[in-house]
């Protein structure tokens, strides 16, 4: 059985929900906080949370360099919300000192859909996900302003790009892990299997 081991970056954010969703999608899921834990996984999910905090904690835990290297070397990675920001090669409105892991040739805008009290849910049709729209939970969500030639746009909401893929890197503006619908996690698990 080709069961991939997929980490969830466990510095901040909705780690537990991703661990549950990955397990439901037939992966072995484990939290990743240290470089040696990162070295043991076939793929990685970067959860939602606060992108500035994730950036600072990644530096503190010695993960910034190793993460950039693994992503650049083709490790499958999936970022949701703040995770999408962390996978961007460029942030339109970065906080002072904010760094990203990079990996997707895109420019993103933080908190683009508004503040916490403007959070919403919406059905999102995602290329590569069958059986109808996924329920997207948008919480202080970013959107993708523009993408490079290598990036595939998988979904839009109200004219804004909310899901993309470049090679083995996948990213969504929204949180599928909060809905009980594990189809996007299953898509990512398939990407990890294909990359092994």
Strand pairing partners for 80? 172
Distance CA 85, CA 179 (A): 21
Nearest to 158 by CA among 171, 169, 173: 173
CA angle (136 as vertex; 171, 177 as ends), nearest 5 = 70
Quickly tell me which residue has 């010695």 as its tokens: 62
Q: Which of 113, 133, 137 is nearest to 124 (CA)?
A: 133
Q: Which of 17, 177, 182, 185 is catalytic?
A: 177
Question: Is-catalytic flag, 40?
Answer: no
Catalytic residue among 81, 157, 182, 185: 81
List 17, 18, 157, 175, catalytic entry: 175
Q: Give the active site residues.
A: 81, 175, 177
């Amino acid at each position: 059985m080709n069961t991939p081991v997929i980490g969830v970056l466990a510095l901040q954010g909705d780690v537990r929900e991703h661990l549950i969703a990955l397990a439901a999608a037939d992966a072995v899921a484990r939290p990743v906080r240290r470089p040696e834990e990162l070295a043991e996984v076939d793929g990685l999910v970067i959860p939602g949370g606060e992108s500035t905090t994730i950036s600072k904690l990644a530096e503190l835990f010695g993960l910034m360099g190793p993460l950039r290297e693994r992503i650049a070397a083709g490790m499958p990675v999936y970022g949701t919300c703040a995770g999408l920001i962390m996978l961007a090669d460029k942030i339109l409105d970065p906080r002072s000192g904010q760094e990203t892991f990079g990996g997707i040739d895109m420019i993103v805008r933080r908190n683009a859909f508004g503040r916490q009290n403007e959070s919403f849910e919406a059905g999102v049709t995602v290329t590569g996900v069958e059986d109808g729209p996924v329920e997207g939970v948008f919480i202080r969500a970013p959107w993708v302003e523009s993408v490079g030639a290598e990036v595939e746009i998988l979904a839009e909401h109200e004219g804004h790009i909310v899901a993309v893929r470049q090679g083995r890197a996948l990213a969504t503006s929204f949180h599928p892990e909060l809905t009980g619908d594990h189809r996007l996690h299953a898509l990512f698990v398939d990407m990890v299997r294909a990359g092994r």
